[in-house]
A and B are shown apart, each in its own frame.
Chain A
Amino acid sequence: MINFLANPERFTRVTRPLRPWLAGVTALLFVWGLYLCFASPEDYQQGDTVRIMYVHVPAAWMGLTVYAAMGIASFFGLIFRHALADVAAKAMAPIGAVFTGLALLTGALWGMPMWGTPWQWDGRMTSELILFLFYIGYIALHASIEDEVRAAKSTAILALVGLVNLPIVHFSVQWWNSLHQGDSIFVKGGPTVAPDMLWPLFVMVAAYHALFAWLFLVRLDSEILARKYRALRARLSFN
Protein backbone atom coordinates (compact mmCIF):
# COMPACT_ATOMS: atom_id res chain seq x y z
CA MET A 1 0.00 0.00 0.00
CA ILE A 2 2.69 2.44 1.03
CA ASN A 3 4.83 1.38 -1.87
CA PHE A 4 1.89 1.74 -4.18
CA LEU A 5 1.25 5.31 -3.05
CA ALA A 6 4.91 6.25 -2.89
CA ASN A 7 4.81 7.22 -6.52
CA PRO A 8 3.77 10.91 -6.49
CA GLU A 9 1.96 10.53 -9.81
CA ARG A 10 -0.17 7.67 -8.58
CA PHE A 11 -0.67 9.35 -5.23
CA THR A 12 -2.23 12.44 -6.74
CA ARG A 13 -4.35 10.32 -9.06
CA VAL A 14 -5.78 8.39 -6.12
CA THR A 15 -6.19 11.25 -3.68
CA ARG A 16 -7.46 14.04 -5.88
CA PRO A 17 -10.99 12.62 -6.24
CA LEU A 18 -11.03 12.11 -2.46
CA ARG A 19 -10.47 15.76 -1.69
CA PRO A 20 -13.94 17.21 -2.28
CA TRP A 21 -15.39 14.43 -0.14
CA LEU A 22 -12.94 15.17 2.64
CA ALA A 23 -13.74 18.87 2.44
CA GLY A 24 -17.43 18.05 2.70
CA VAL A 25 -16.92 15.76 5.67
CA THR A 26 -14.80 18.43 7.36
CA ALA A 27 -17.48 21.06 6.89
CA LEU A 28 -20.23 18.74 8.17
CA LEU A 29 -18.23 17.71 11.22
CA PHE A 30 -17.46 21.34 12.05
CA VAL A 31 -21.09 22.39 11.71
CA TRP A 32 -22.18 19.49 13.90
CA GLY A 33 -19.35 20.01 16.38
CA LEU A 34 -19.82 23.75 16.72
CA TYR A 35 -23.56 23.25 17.14
CA LEU A 36 -22.87 20.74 19.92
CA CYS A 37 -20.39 23.16 21.50
CA PHE A 38 -23.10 25.75 21.95
CA ALA A 39 -25.86 23.27 22.72
CA SER A 40 -23.81 21.53 25.41
CA PRO A 41 -24.43 22.47 29.03
CA GLU A 42 -22.51 25.07 31.01
CA ASP A 43 -19.85 23.79 33.35
CA TYR A 44 -20.63 24.00 37.06
CA GLN A 45 -17.48 26.02 37.68
CA GLN A 46 -16.47 27.57 34.40
CA GLY A 47 -19.91 28.49 33.05
CA ASP A 48 -19.82 29.34 29.38
CA THR A 49 -16.04 29.60 29.30
CA VAL A 50 -15.88 25.81 29.13
CA ARG A 51 -16.77 26.08 25.44
CA ILE A 52 -13.24 27.28 24.69
CA MET A 53 -12.13 23.79 25.70
CA TYR A 54 -13.79 22.29 22.61
CA VAL A 55 -11.52 24.38 20.41
CA HIS A 56 -8.45 24.27 22.60
CA VAL A 57 -8.06 20.59 23.43
CA PRO A 58 -8.32 19.22 19.86
CA ALA A 59 -5.94 21.95 18.64
CA ALA A 60 -3.37 21.01 21.28
CA TRP A 61 -3.75 17.30 20.47
CA MET A 62 -3.35 17.98 16.77
CA GLY A 63 -0.23 20.05 17.45
CA LEU A 64 1.34 16.98 19.03
CA THR A 65 -0.06 14.46 16.55
CA VAL A 66 1.12 16.43 13.54
CA TYR A 67 4.60 16.78 14.99
CA ALA A 68 4.73 13.04 15.65
CA ALA A 69 3.59 12.37 12.08
CA MET A 70 6.23 14.81 10.84
CA GLY A 71 8.83 12.90 12.84
CA ILE A 72 7.72 9.58 11.33
CA ALA A 73 7.69 10.99 7.81
CA SER A 74 11.13 12.52 8.38
CA PHE A 75 12.42 9.17 9.61
CA PHE A 76 11.20 7.39 6.48
CA GLY A 77 12.51 10.17 4.29
CA LEU A 78 15.91 10.04 5.92
CA ILE A 79 16.40 6.29 6.18
CA PHE A 80 14.61 4.99 3.10
CA ARG A 81 15.11 8.05 0.88
CA HIS A 82 11.41 8.22 0.28
CA ALA A 83 10.65 11.22 -1.92
CA LEU A 84 7.03 11.45 -0.87
CA ALA A 85 7.92 11.26 2.83
CA ASP A 86 10.04 14.42 2.52
CA VAL A 87 7.25 16.27 0.78
CA ALA A 88 4.76 15.01 3.38
CA ALA A 89 6.83 16.28 6.31
CA LYS A 90 7.26 19.64 4.64
CA ALA A 91 3.55 19.89 3.87
CA MET A 92 2.54 19.12 7.45
CA ALA A 93 4.70 21.68 9.23
CA PRO A 94 2.68 24.88 8.69
CA ILE A 95 -0.59 23.08 9.52
CA GLY A 96 0.86 21.80 12.77
CA ALA A 97 2.26 25.23 13.57
CA VAL A 98 -1.19 26.79 13.17
CA PHE A 99 -2.80 24.14 15.40
CA THR A 100 -0.18 24.72 18.07
CA GLY A 101 -0.56 28.49 17.79
CA LEU A 102 -4.32 28.09 18.10
CA ALA A 103 -3.86 25.97 21.23
CA LEU A 104 -1.63 28.63 22.78
CA LEU A 105 -4.03 31.42 21.86
CA THR A 106 -7.22 29.73 23.04
CA GLY A 107 -5.41 28.61 26.18
CA ALA A 108 -4.55 32.22 26.94
CA LEU A 109 -8.15 33.27 26.29
CA TRP A 110 -9.41 30.59 28.67
CA GLY A 111 -6.76 31.36 31.26
CA MET A 112 -7.54 35.04 31.52
CA PRO A 113 -10.92 34.65 33.24
CA MET A 114 -10.34 31.21 34.76
CA TRP A 115 -6.83 31.23 36.16
CA GLY A 116 -6.65 34.99 36.34
CA THR A 117 -3.70 35.11 33.97
CA PRO A 118 -3.26 34.45 30.25
CA TRP A 119 0.23 33.07 30.62
CA GLN A 120 2.42 31.43 33.24
CA TRP A 121 5.77 29.78 32.73
CA ASP A 122 4.70 26.40 33.98
CA GLY A 123 5.83 23.14 32.40
CA ARG A 124 2.91 22.63 30.02
CA MET A 125 2.83 26.14 28.63
CA THR A 126 6.59 26.44 28.28
CA SER A 127 6.96 23.11 26.50
CA GLU A 128 4.01 23.91 24.22
CA LEU A 129 5.64 27.21 23.31
CA ILE A 130 8.86 25.36 22.52
CA LEU A 131 6.89 23.00 20.29
CA PHE A 132 5.62 26.06 18.45
CA LEU A 133 9.19 27.37 18.11
CA PHE A 134 10.27 24.00 16.69
CA TYR A 135 7.63 24.28 14.00
CA ILE A 136 8.82 27.81 13.17
CA GLY A 137 12.45 26.68 13.13
CA TYR A 138 11.57 23.75 10.87
CA ILE A 139 9.76 25.97 8.39
CA ALA A 140 12.55 28.57 8.45
CA LEU A 141 15.24 25.95 7.88
CA HIS A 142 13.34 24.45 4.99
CA ALA A 143 12.85 27.86 3.42
CA SER A 144 16.49 28.86 3.72
CA ILE A 145 18.11 25.89 1.99
CA GLU A 146 17.60 26.08 -1.73
CA ASP A 147 18.54 22.55 -2.70
CA GLU A 148 15.41 20.45 -2.03
CA VAL A 149 17.23 17.22 -1.27
CA ARG A 150 19.55 18.84 1.23
CA ALA A 151 16.76 20.86 2.78
CA ALA A 152 14.80 17.65 3.28
CA LYS A 153 17.76 15.97 4.97
CA SER A 154 18.55 18.84 7.30
CA THR A 155 14.95 19.43 8.32
CA ALA A 156 14.40 15.71 8.85
CA ILE A 157 17.26 15.64 11.36
CA LEU A 158 15.84 18.72 13.08
CA ALA A 159 12.39 17.13 13.26
CA LEU A 160 13.82 13.94 14.75
CA VAL A 161 15.81 15.85 17.36
CA GLY A 162 12.69 17.86 18.20
CA LEU A 163 10.75 14.67 18.96
CA VAL A 164 12.24 14.68 22.47
CA ASN A 165 9.91 17.56 23.27
CA LEU A 166 6.72 15.54 22.67
CA PRO A 167 6.83 13.43 25.83
CA ILE A 168 7.80 16.55 27.75
CA VAL A 169 4.67 18.35 26.55
CA HIS A 170 2.50 15.36 27.29
CA PHE A 171 3.83 14.45 30.71
CA SER A 172 4.60 17.98 31.92
CA VAL A 173 1.40 18.10 33.95
CA GLN A 174 2.35 14.88 35.71
CA TRP A 175 6.03 15.47 36.23
CA TRP A 176 5.78 18.93 37.68
CA ASN A 177 3.39 20.89 39.83
CA SER A 178 1.74 22.94 37.16
CA LEU A 179 -0.98 25.49 36.85
CA HIS A 180 -2.39 23.62 33.88
CA GLN A 181 -4.89 20.92 34.84
CA GLY A 182 -3.96 17.31 34.30
CA ASP A 183 -5.35 14.95 31.68
CA SER A 184 -9.06 14.33 31.95
CA ILE A 185 -9.82 12.07 28.99
CA PHE A 186 -7.33 9.21 28.96
CA VAL A 187 -7.01 8.58 32.67
CA LYS A 188 -7.44 5.57 34.88
CA GLY A 189 -11.08 5.07 35.82
CA GLY A 190 -12.38 6.76 32.68
CA PRO A 191 -12.72 10.38 31.65
CA THR A 192 -13.50 12.96 34.30
CA VAL A 193 -15.53 14.89 31.76
CA ALA A 194 -19.29 14.47 31.85
CA PRO A 195 -20.70 12.59 28.80
CA ASP A 196 -22.67 15.68 27.69
CA MET A 197 -19.38 17.50 27.32
CA LEU A 198 -17.36 14.57 26.02
CA TRP A 199 -19.51 14.25 22.93
CA PRO A 200 -18.95 17.71 21.49
CA LEU A 201 -15.25 17.31 22.27
CA PHE A 202 -15.00 14.07 20.30
CA VAL A 203 -16.91 15.48 17.35
CA MET A 204 -14.57 18.45 17.33
CA VAL A 205 -11.58 16.13 17.49
CA ALA A 206 -12.91 14.25 14.47
CA ALA A 207 -13.52 17.56 12.69
CA TYR A 208 -9.95 18.68 13.33
CA HIS A 209 -8.60 15.40 12.01
CA ALA A 210 -10.70 15.69 8.87
CA LEU A 211 -9.57 19.29 8.43
CA PHE A 212 -5.97 18.23 8.78
CA ALA A 213 -6.35 15.38 6.30
CA TRP A 214 -7.94 17.68 3.77
CA LEU A 215 -5.42 20.51 4.13
CA PHE A 216 -2.61 18.00 4.09
CA LEU A 217 -3.70 16.49 0.79
CA VAL A 218 -4.12 19.92 -0.76
CA ARG A 219 -0.69 21.03 0.40
CA LEU A 220 0.91 17.78 -0.65
CA ASP A 221 -0.57 18.04 -4.11
CA SER A 222 0.50 21.64 -4.61
CA GLU A 223 3.99 20.82 -3.35
CA ILE A 224 4.28 17.96 -5.85
CA LEU A 225 3.05 20.28 -8.60
CA ALA A 226 5.53 22.98 -7.56
CA ARG A 227 8.38 20.51 -7.76
CA LYS A 228 7.26 19.25 -11.13
CA TYR A 229 7.09 22.83 -12.34
CA ARG A 230 10.57 23.58 -11.08
CA ALA A 231 11.95 20.46 -12.69
CA LEU A 232 10.29 21.33 -15.99
CA ARG A 233 11.66 24.85 -15.92
CA ALA A 234 15.12 23.61 -15.15
CA ARG A 235 14.93 21.24 -18.10
CA LEU A 236 13.64 23.96 -20.41
CA SER A 237 16.38 26.38 -19.48
CA PHE A 238 18.97 23.75 -20.36
CA ASN A 239 17.65 23.29 -23.88
Chain B
Amino acid sequence: MSFWPKSVKARRRLTIFLIAAPVFIAAVALSLYALKGTVVYFYTPAQWIEAKVPVGKTVRLGGLVKPGSVVKTPDGVTRFTVQDKLKEISVVYKGELPDLFREGQGVVCEGEVTGVTALKAVQVLAKHDEKYIPKNVQKELEKQGEWRPGAGMDKPKPVQRPFQ
Protein backbone atom coordinates (compact mmCIF):
# COMPACT_ATOMS: atom_id res chain seq x y z
CA MET B 1 0.00 0.00 0.00
CA SER B 2 1.60 3.18 -1.16
CA PHE B 3 -0.37 5.63 0.93
CA TRP B 4 0.71 3.87 4.11
CA PRO B 5 3.33 6.14 5.67
CA LYS B 6 6.77 4.79 6.40
CA SER B 7 7.53 6.27 9.79
CA VAL B 8 6.13 4.46 12.82
CA LYS B 9 4.84 7.68 14.29
CA ALA B 10 2.94 8.77 11.21
CA ARG B 11 1.53 5.28 10.77
CA ARG B 12 0.31 5.28 14.33
CA ARG B 13 -1.30 8.67 13.88
CA LEU B 14 -3.06 7.57 10.70
CA THR B 15 -4.35 4.41 12.36
CA ILE B 16 -5.80 6.37 15.25
CA PHE B 17 -7.42 8.76 12.82
CA LEU B 18 -8.85 5.94 10.75
CA ILE B 19 -10.36 4.33 13.84
CA ALA B 20 -11.68 7.56 15.33
CA ALA B 21 -13.17 8.97 12.12
CA PRO B 22 -16.03 6.46 11.67
CA VAL B 23 -16.97 6.77 15.34
CA PHE B 24 -16.99 10.53 14.95
CA ILE B 25 -19.09 10.34 11.80
CA ALA B 26 -21.55 8.04 13.55
CA ALA B 27 -21.79 10.57 16.39
CA VAL B 28 -22.46 13.41 13.96
CA ALA B 29 -25.09 11.37 12.12
CA LEU B 30 -26.80 10.43 15.37
CA SER B 31 -26.90 14.00 16.64
CA LEU B 32 -28.26 15.22 13.31
CA TYR B 33 -30.99 12.63 13.63
CA ALA B 34 -31.67 13.77 17.20
CA LEU B 35 -31.78 17.42 16.18
CA LYS B 36 -34.65 16.67 13.82
CA GLY B 37 -36.97 16.82 16.77
CA THR B 38 -36.59 19.90 18.92
CA VAL B 39 -35.61 19.94 22.52
CA VAL B 40 -38.51 21.84 23.93
CA TYR B 41 -37.90 24.71 26.26
CA PHE B 42 -41.58 25.44 25.72
CA TYR B 43 -44.47 23.94 23.76
CA THR B 44 -46.24 26.00 21.14
CA PRO B 45 -50.03 25.47 21.24
CA ALA B 46 -49.89 23.15 18.22
CA GLN B 47 -47.07 21.13 19.79
CA TRP B 48 -49.05 21.07 23.03
CA ILE B 49 -52.09 19.53 21.35
CA GLU B 50 -49.96 17.06 19.46
CA ALA B 51 -47.95 16.00 22.51
CA LYS B 52 -51.17 15.44 24.51
CA VAL B 53 -49.71 17.10 27.59
CA PRO B 54 -51.24 15.35 30.60
CA VAL B 55 -53.34 17.29 33.13
CA GLY B 56 -51.46 18.11 36.31
CA LYS B 57 -48.04 18.34 34.69
CA THR B 58 -45.93 21.49 34.91
CA VAL B 59 -45.02 22.79 31.46
CA ARG B 60 -44.03 25.91 29.60
CA LEU B 61 -46.22 27.24 26.85
CA GLY B 62 -45.02 29.72 24.25
CA GLY B 63 -46.97 31.66 21.65
CA LEU B 64 -48.63 34.96 20.89
CA VAL B 65 -51.22 36.60 23.10
CA LYS B 66 -54.38 36.56 21.02
CA PRO B 67 -55.51 40.14 20.35
CA GLY B 68 -58.70 40.96 22.24
CA SER B 69 -58.44 37.98 24.56
CA VAL B 70 -56.88 39.66 27.60
CA VAL B 71 -59.32 40.09 30.48
CA LYS B 72 -58.13 41.55 33.77
CA THR B 73 -60.29 41.22 36.87
CA PRO B 74 -59.92 43.49 39.94
CA ASP B 75 -58.49 40.68 42.10
CA GLY B 76 -55.32 40.68 39.98
CA VAL B 77 -56.19 37.68 37.86
CA THR B 78 -55.49 37.91 34.14
CA ARG B 79 -57.08 35.60 31.59
CA PHE B 80 -55.84 35.44 28.05
CA THR B 81 -55.44 33.12 25.11
CA VAL B 82 -52.11 32.04 23.71
CA GLN B 83 -52.17 31.12 20.07
CA ASP B 84 -49.96 30.08 17.23
CA LYS B 85 -51.06 29.79 13.63
CA LEU B 86 -52.91 26.56 14.27
CA LYS B 87 -54.18 26.22 17.83
CA GLU B 88 -55.15 28.16 20.95
CA ILE B 89 -54.67 27.53 24.67
CA SER B 90 -56.37 29.56 27.40
CA VAL B 91 -54.25 30.76 30.30
CA VAL B 92 -55.15 32.00 33.76
CA TYR B 93 -52.53 33.94 35.71
CA LYS B 94 -52.48 35.83 38.96
CA GLY B 95 -49.69 38.28 39.54
CA GLU B 96 -47.47 40.93 38.01
CA LEU B 97 -47.03 40.92 34.22
CA PRO B 98 -43.76 41.94 32.52
CA ASP B 99 -43.46 45.30 30.73
CA LEU B 100 -43.55 43.75 27.30
CA PHE B 101 -46.80 41.86 27.92
CA ARG B 102 -49.49 43.05 25.53
CA GLU B 103 -51.86 41.70 22.93
CA GLY B 104 -50.06 40.23 19.97
CA GLN B 105 -46.88 39.81 22.02
CA GLY B 106 -44.93 36.58 22.22
CA VAL B 107 -45.04 35.11 25.72
CA VAL B 108 -43.80 32.06 27.59
CA CYS B 109 -46.08 30.88 30.41
CA GLU B 110 -45.05 28.31 32.96
CA GLY B 111 -47.59 26.53 35.09
CA GLU B 112 -49.82 23.59 35.67
CA VAL B 113 -51.92 21.98 32.98
CA THR B 114 -55.55 22.18 34.09
CA GLY B 115 -57.29 20.89 30.98
CA VAL B 116 -56.76 19.75 27.42
CA THR B 117 -56.30 23.36 26.32
CA ALA B 118 -55.98 25.18 29.66
CA LEU B 119 -53.00 26.31 31.69
CA LYS B 120 -52.85 27.84 35.14
CA ALA B 121 -49.67 29.88 34.95
CA VAL B 122 -47.42 30.67 37.90
CA GLN B 123 -45.05 32.72 35.78
CA VAL B 124 -45.58 34.71 32.60
CA LEU B 125 -42.52 35.84 30.64
CA ALA B 126 -42.57 38.10 27.61
CA LYS B 127 -40.58 36.88 24.65
CA HIS B 128 -39.06 39.68 22.70
CA ASP B 129 -39.01 39.36 18.93
CA GLU B 130 -36.04 40.15 16.73
CA LYS B 131 -37.23 43.60 15.77
CA TYR B 132 -35.92 46.89 17.04
CA ILE B 133 -37.87 49.89 15.78
CA PRO B 134 -37.77 53.48 17.05
CA LYS B 135 -40.95 54.62 18.75
CA ASN B 136 -41.54 57.61 16.46
CA VAL B 137 -41.05 55.50 13.34
CA GLN B 138 -43.60 53.03 14.62
CA LYS B 139 -46.07 55.87 15.34
CA GLU B 140 -45.49 57.26 11.87
CA LEU B 141 -46.13 53.89 10.28
CA GLU B 142 -49.26 53.54 12.35
CA LYS B 143 -50.52 56.90 11.18
CA GLN B 144 -50.06 55.88 7.57
CA GLY B 145 -51.84 52.62 8.23
CA GLU B 146 -48.73 50.69 7.29
CA TRP B 147 -48.16 49.22 10.73
CA ARG B 148 -49.03 45.61 11.36
CA PRO B 149 -48.44 44.67 14.97
CA GLY B 150 -46.49 41.46 15.25
CA ALA B 151 -45.80 41.51 11.54
CA GLY B 152 -42.58 39.66 12.11
CA MET B 153 -44.18 36.97 14.20
CA ASP B 154 -46.82 35.60 11.87
CA LYS B 155 -44.52 34.70 9.04
CA PRO B 156 -43.47 31.16 9.83
CA LYS B 157 -40.02 30.99 11.29
CA PRO B 158 -37.87 28.53 9.38
CA VAL B 159 -36.50 27.13 12.61
CA GLN B 160 -39.75 26.22 14.35
CA ARG B 161 -39.84 22.58 13.49
CA PRO B 162 -42.89 20.65 14.61
CA PHE B 163 -42.58 18.47 17.63
CA GLN B 164 -41.92 14.86 16.72
Contacts and interface: CB of A to CB of B under 8 A. Distances in A.
B15 interface: no
B133 A43 contact: yes
B33 interface: no
Q: Size range of the interface on A?
A: 35 or more
A113 B98 contact: yes
A179 B100 contact: no
Contacts of B105: 45
B50 to A, nearest CB: 14
The main secondary structure of chain A at its interface with chain B is loop
Contacts of A174: 159
B125 A184 contact: no
A12 interface: no
Contact of B159 (A46, A115, A117, A182): A182
Given A114-B100, A123-B39, A179 B137 contact: no
B144 interface: no
Most buried by B among A42, A116, A178, A197: A116
B164 interface: no
Contacts of B129: 181
Contact of B100 (A45, A123, A175, A183): A45
A7 interface: no
Interface stretch (A63-71, A73-81, A151-159, A186-194): A186-194
B38 A115 contact: no
Contacts of B43: 177
B160 interface: yes
A46 B134 contact: no
A42 B136 CA distance: 8
B58 to A, nearest CB: 14
A176 interface: yes
Q: In this complex, which of A46, A115, A117, A197 has the most chain B Cβ atoms within 10 angstroms of its Cβ?
A: A115
Given A116-B101, A178-B41, 6 more contacts: A114-B126, A117-B98, A122-B41, A177-B41, A182-B130, A192-B130
Interface of A: 40-47, 49-50, 53, 113-117, 120, 122-123, 173-179, 181-184, 187, 192-194, 196-197
